[in-house]
Chains A and B, each alone.
Chain A
Amino acid sequence: MQILFLLPKYKWVFAVFLDYLIDKIQCDLRMGRPLSFVLLLFLFAHCSDVKGIKDRYLAERMFYRANKLYQNIQVNPRGAGPSDYRQARESFRHILVRYPVASLRTEGHRSEKLRGELLALTGTSQMNVADLFFQEGQFDSAIVEYQGVVRDYAAEQVLSSRAQYYIGLSYQKIGKWGHAVSAFHILLHNYPPFTGTPNQPDVNILRVPVYIAQVYREQREKAEADRHFQKAREYLSGVVQEWPNTLSAQFAQNQIVSSYLSQEHWREAITALAPLVAHGDSTEPPEASFTMAELYQEKLNDPAQAMKIYTDMLERYPDARKLSRVHLGMGKIHLQRGELAMSREEFKGVISDFPEQAAIGARAQYYLALTYEVEGEWDRALNEFRWIMENYPNSPEALQVPHHILDHYIKFSDRELATSAYSQALRDYDRFIARNPDSPQAAYGQWYIAQCHEMMEQWEDAIAALEVLVENHPLSPQVLFSLLRIGEMYETHLEYPDEALKAYRRLVEKSPRSQLAQIALERMERLRQRTK
Chain B
Amino acid sequence: MRVVERINILIWTWIQSLRSAKKISIFLPFFLFTLLQSVILTALILFFVPPFSQVLVPLMERLYGEPALHYPHNFVVLPTLFFGANRWLSLLVSWLVIGTATLMFAAKYRSETVQARRSFYQALRCMLPLFVLGAVEWSLVFLMTRLFRFMAPEILMWGAHSHRLLRLAGFLCNVVIMTPFAFTTPQVVLGKRNIWTALTGSFSLAKSNFGVTFLIIAIPAFFSWIVDVAAGRAPLMVAKFSPEIVVFLLGLGVVVTLLVNFVIVGALTALYLGVAEGTP
Contact = CB atoms under 8 A, between A and B. Distances in A.
Contacts, number: 75
Contact of A4 (B48, B57, B69, B230): B230
B241 interface: yes
A64 B50 contact: no
Given A11-B242, A60-B70, A43 B51 contact: yes
B244 A22 contact: no
A15 B246 CA distance: 11
A219 B248 CA distance: 60
B53 A7 contact: no
Contact of B244 (A1, A14, A25, A57): A14
Interface in A42-77: 43-44, 47, 50, 53-54, 56-58, 60-61, 64
A18 B44 CA distance: 12
Contacts of B72: 60-61, 64
B71 A64 contact: yes
B48 A14 contact: no
Interface string B119-132: 00000000000000
Contacts of A56: 70
Interface in A271-289: none
B89 interface: no
B248 A50 contact: no
Given A47-B54, A54-B53, A60-B71, A8 B244 contact: no
B226 interface: yes
A57 B69 contact: yes
Nearest to B240: A8
A44 B54 contact: yes
Contacts of A14: 244-245, 247-248, 251
What is the predominant secondary structure among interface residues of chain B facing chain A? Answer: helix
Contacts of B243: 64
B49 interface: yes
A8 B237 CA distance: 9
B42 interface: yes
B50 A11 contact: no
Contact of A11 (B45, B53, B245): B245
A318 B242 CA distance: 51
Interface residues of B, number: 26
Interface in B47-63: 48-51, 53-54, 57
B178 to A, nearest CB: 24
Interface string A1-42: 100100110110011001001100110000000000001100
Contact of A8 (B46, B53, B245): B245
Contacts of A21: 42, 45-46
A43 B245 CA distance: 32
Contacts of A18: 45, 244, 247
A15 B71 CA distance: 13
A35 to B, nearest CB: 12
B46 A47 contact: no
Interface string B245-256: 101110100000
A7 B241 contact: yes
Contact of B49 (A11, A15, A25, A60): A25
B242 A8 contact: yes
B131 to A, nearest CB: 31
Nearest to A61: B71
Contact of A40 (B45, B50, B57, B242): B50
Given A47-B54, A50-B54, A50-B57, A25 B46 contact: yes
Nearest to A51: B50
A370 to B, nearest CB: 48
A10 B244 CA distance: 10
A21 to B, nearest CB: 6
Contacts of B248: 7, 10-11, 14
Given A14-B248, A15-B244, A22-B46, A43 B54 contact: yes
Interface in B24-76: 42, 45-46, 48-51, 53-54, 57, 69-72, 74
A47 B70 CA distance: 19
Interface in A338-382: none
Contacts of A25: 46, 49
B7 to A, nearest CB: 26
Interface string B227-247: 000100000000001111101
Contacts of B247: 14, 18
A47 B50 contact: yes
Contacts of B230: 1, 4
A438 B242 CA distance: 29
Interface of A: 1, 4, 7-8, 10-11, 14-15, 18, 21-22, 25-26, 39-40, 43-44, 47, 50, 53-54, 56-58, 60-61, 64
Instruction: Report, nearest first, the 8 A-B pairs whose CB atoms are least far apart.
Output: A60-B71, A57-B48, A11-B242, A8-B241, A14-B244, A61-B71, A54-B48, A14-B248
12 contacts: A1-B226, A7-B241, A11-B245, A25-B49, A26-B49, A40-B51, A43-B50, A50-B50, A50-B57, A57-B48, A57-B70, A64-B243
